[in-house]
Amino acid sequence: MTSSPLKKVLLAYHDKIPLMRYMKPAFERQGIAVITFDVNANMSWVDRFFFKRINKIAHNLRIIPKSRKLFGEHPLSHRNYYNSRLRAVIEQEQPDLLFIVRGIDYEPSSYAPAPCRFAWWIESEDGLAEAYAEAAHFQHYFFISQSGVEGARQRGLQQVSYLPHGVDPSVFQPQAIERDIDVGFVGFWSPRRQRYLEAVLDVTRHVVIYGPRWWKNTWRLRRFWRIVRGRAIHGDRLVHFYNRCKLVLNVTNWGEDGGPLRSGMNMRLFEVPATGRPLLTDRCRELDSSFLPGQELAVFDSPEELREQVQYYLEHAAAREAMAAAGRQRVLASASYDLMIARICAAYEDWRTRQKP
């Protein structure tokens, strides 16, 4: 534990991605009290049982486009309700720092009572304009992409910095179980991801996919019938699934075919190596400064290159296990949530220093 002027933090996000579950104990190990605000848990019963269902019917019958919602201005609609609840929690708890994980849309009035406000943009670089528009409302703004930081500074925003994802090694651990899946993939369907999975299927049929929209978009393709196993997989089941795989595939779903110009690393790049499994991933700007491609993970730039790598690593067990071990050592040394929280605390101390006359 280190001494920090930060004594209480309020984390705001949702429970579909368990970031608050991983960040909370890392803050607490620094002696910092943590309150969490789960957007999904702050939904009015009126919205849950009436507004949401009516909107679903209206969208399915094409009465209104899916970009619109009925009752959007009502105070009990989800967005208005969680914004009012966030403001109430801030006023009640009086945190030193409000840390918002972005991707959820908040009204500036909902977080205005917090004396110090940080945000972390973890969404696609395709939506960075939204982050730039709101960054002035925060004392510090973090991005998972270097392009996000550069774009912010080009717009005159100075209190911004790069903050990649981390991994909790107490959750993502190796398991001594049978590797009965050749290649595993987790993520929702997209045309780009389908092209890469088709390349994998040219090599092996022992593939398993979890993610939304795969059944809807591939049910006509016989080769996908048996490999799509569900819409979602989380928690202990996800860790067990990774451990069953000889290889795990990551195909980033933003920056279409951007190669080294694509910016931002998702959570899979840290969580899969932590489980001790070899990762095959497409390229992004930050990759070379975070890993040793070819030694700690494998990197491909096309479906054809992926096909060759899958063939090679399935035929060379020693090579893939050596890469898996090296990848695990890398993330354990450089991608912990403790290191992430240290960066956040440093930014908070810098803000406090700038407040002094």
Residue 190 has pLDDT above 60, yes or no: yes
Tell me the two tokens of residue 1.
Answer: 């534990």
The confidence score (pLDDT) of residue 256 equals: 56
The confidence score (pLDDT) of residue 261 equals: 63
Tell me the two tokens of residue 333.
Answer: 């040394």
Q: What residues contact 156, with CB distance under 8 A and at least 6 apart? A: none
Mean pLDDT of 229-238: 93
CATH number for the 8-165+337-355 domain, one of 1.50.10.10, 3.60.150.10, 3.20.20.70, 3.40.50.2000?
3.40.50.2000
Q: What residues contact 154, with CB distance under 8 A and at least 6 apart? A: none
Residue 95 has pLDDT above 90, yes or no: yes
Report the distance separating Cα 199 and Cα 306, nearest Å: 7
pLDDT band at 253 (very low <50, low <70, confident <90, very high): confident
The confidence score (pLDDT) of residue 123 equals: 87
Report the distance separating Cα 25 and Cα 352, nearest Å: 23
Lowest mean pLDDT among 56-70, 76-90, 111-125, 256-270: 256-270
Residue 154 has pLDDT above 70, yes or no: yes
The confidence score (pLDDT) of residue 306 equals: 98
Q: What angle do CA 78, 82, 88 make, to 5 degrees?
A: 150
The confidence score (pLDDT) of residue 16 equals: 78
DSSP state of 167: B
Q: pLDDT tens digits, residue range 308-344?
A: 999 999 999 999 999 999 999 999 999 999 999 999 9
**pTM > 0.75: yes or no:** yes
Report the distance separating Cα 83 and Cα 71, nearest Å: 15
| Domain ranges in the chain with CATH number 3.40.50.2000 | 8-165+337-355, 181-334
Which has the closest alpha carbon to 137: 157, 122, 151?
A: 157
Report the distance separating Cα 207 and Cα 227, nearest Å: 6
Residue 260 has pLDDT above 70, yes or no: no
Phi/psi at 165 (5° precision):
-65, 165
The confidence score (pLDDT) of residue 282 equals: 94
pLDDT band at 1 (very low <50, low <70, confident <90, very high): low
Mean pLDDT of 2-20: 86
- How buried is residue 277: exposed, middle or buried, by Cβ count under 10 Å (0-12/13-18/19+)? buried
Mean pLDDT of 188-216: 96
Residue 129 has pLDDT above 70, yes or no: yes
The confidence score (pLDDT) of residue 99 equals: 97
Greater model confidence, 304 or 126: 304
The confidence score (pLDDT) of residue 254 equals: 74
pLDDT band at 107 (very low <50, low <70, confident <90, very high): very high
> How does strand 33-38 pair with strand 97-102?
unpaired
Q: What's the whole-number average pLDDT of the chain?
A: 93
CA distances (Å), 60 to each of 63, 64, 69, 248, in order?
A: 8, 9, 12, 36
CATH number for the 181-334 domain, one of 3.40.190.10, 3.10.310.10, 3.40.50.2000, 3.90.550.10?
3.40.50.2000
pLDDT band at 194 (very low <50, low <70, confident <90, very high): very high
